[in-house]
Each structure stands twice: as C-alpha cells, then as structure tokens.
Amino acid sequence: MTSTSHSDPRTMIDSAASSSSTTDRWMRVACEQARLGKQSGEVPVGCVFVHEEEPEKPLAKAFNHTNRDHNGTRHCELVCMDAMIADLPEETSFRDVMQKTTLYVTVEPCIMCAGALVLAGVKKVVFGCFNPRFGGCGGVVTVEPPPTGDSATRMEEGERTAAGAGFADTSTTRASGTTLNPAVVVVQEAEAAGAQAQETLTMPVVSSSTRSTTHGDKDHSTNTGPPCPRVDRTLQRLEAVQAKQFEEEAIELLRSFYERGNPNAPEAKRQRKIVEDVADA
C-alpha cells in the first residue's frame, strides 16, 4: 500500500461532483448515524454503503463502535463492512459488490480505513469534512493501491491474516454460519479470480527472509520460507469526493462531542484545544 501527500488537499477533491439528490439523501443518512453514535457515547462519525445497481437501498449503515468495543479499529467504515459480509449469500463475491459501491461518510476516512477501502475494492467515497490529522483520502495523504507486477513484493503464506491489521479481531459470520475476516475475504476472492486476470496484485509488504523477535529473555526465530504465489488481481484507485454542503454539519457534530469531552480519552487529550483537531475521528 502506498500513499501520496498533498500540500493543499482541498484543491484535489472535486466537490462539485457531489451535488446531487442521491448524495444529499445518503449524506443525511450518514449524518443521522453520526448523531446516533453521539447519543451512544461514540465519536460522532457515521456512514452508509450504497450499491450502484440499487441506489435506493443501503447495503449497510453504521456509526463508530470504538468506545463500545474498547477497540480503536472499530471505525464506522469497518463496522459497516462487517455488516455487509454478514448479509452476503455464500456464493456472492464481496469484492465484486464493493467494486460497484459508494461509501457516504461524514468525515474523510482515516489512513487505516482508506487502506481497508482500497483493499476491499470500494469504488468511491463521498465525505462531509476533511480529517486534517489522519485523513487518507487527501486530507493528509492519499492511499493508493499496492504496486503490481514485477516491482511488487510478495507476501508470505504464513502472514496472510496479517494483511488486514485494521480488521484485527473483527471476524464476521455470514448468514451461512461461516466465520470470515474482511481482509481474508479479499485475499481469498482475489486468488479465486487470479486465473482470469492479467495483472498482479500483491498484498502489504512482508519480508521473506528469516525473522527474529525477542520476548523477555527468549529469542523466537522463524524461517518464513518462500513467498506465496502472487495474486493475479488488480485494485482500482479509490475516487474521493467532498460533499461540501455537509461540511459544516459534520464538523459541528464533532465539535459538540469534543466540547463535552470524550469520556474514554486520556486526560491529556481531553484538555486539548479543539480548533485544529475537531475532525479527528
């Protein structure tokens, strides 16, 4: 996964493209999810996924669960993806669904979530306000798909489940009863489709040399062996659009929460001024 920084990200996002009745409708739903999150004691960020072939029906909607689950990775985007996987029939490809899906979210996804969205193959994200501290869609950096072809580094067989660090402890059970992890779903489906693709996708870089780690006075050395076969699957670049008409509402939701104070935040951060950090999701 690579990233590119921009000196002025607001000049890189086409807010005009977000002016439509569809955008307004689903951004209102995302804002309502954020309000529900605030009522639940969560940082008020909400989102909804909508498939292009069923624009009148949401695939899933959610707000942050970080405080509820005591897990910093449970941002609304990842909670929403878990919900979608749980509802997918066994024969339906998660990747194929995501490639025709738009995410509407009140705040620009953080770098972690932007990486997850890219790996999942999400087509487009529409957000209300920028995230000036952790934004992964232009606010701080722009997360890009991993390199393809011979220049890419292959991931080890034993490290596949590490590909979705942002999905840690977020395994989801499909309707069929199968327990899945979103990152593993992406890898498995990419491998299944590999024979038909012409380009090569590699997951996040992991060295294939012998690795040694130390815990206390014990040394644990692992010979990682040869890298796994490269996955023949390409990822599309995530299109990011700001729905500027919802910027003020998204910021005000965050401001109202942080003025009250996040009861789960460390004391030092609770005393921090709001001005620059208001969009910290």
Active-site amino acid positions: 77
Any idea which residue has 């890219």 for tokens? 118
The residue among 8, 31, 41, 58 whose CA lies nearest residue 258 is 41
Residue 182, CA distances (Å) to 24, 82, 95, 266 in order: 29, 7, 10, 30
Q: On the CB side of 6, how many CA atoms lie within 13 Å of its CA?
A: 16
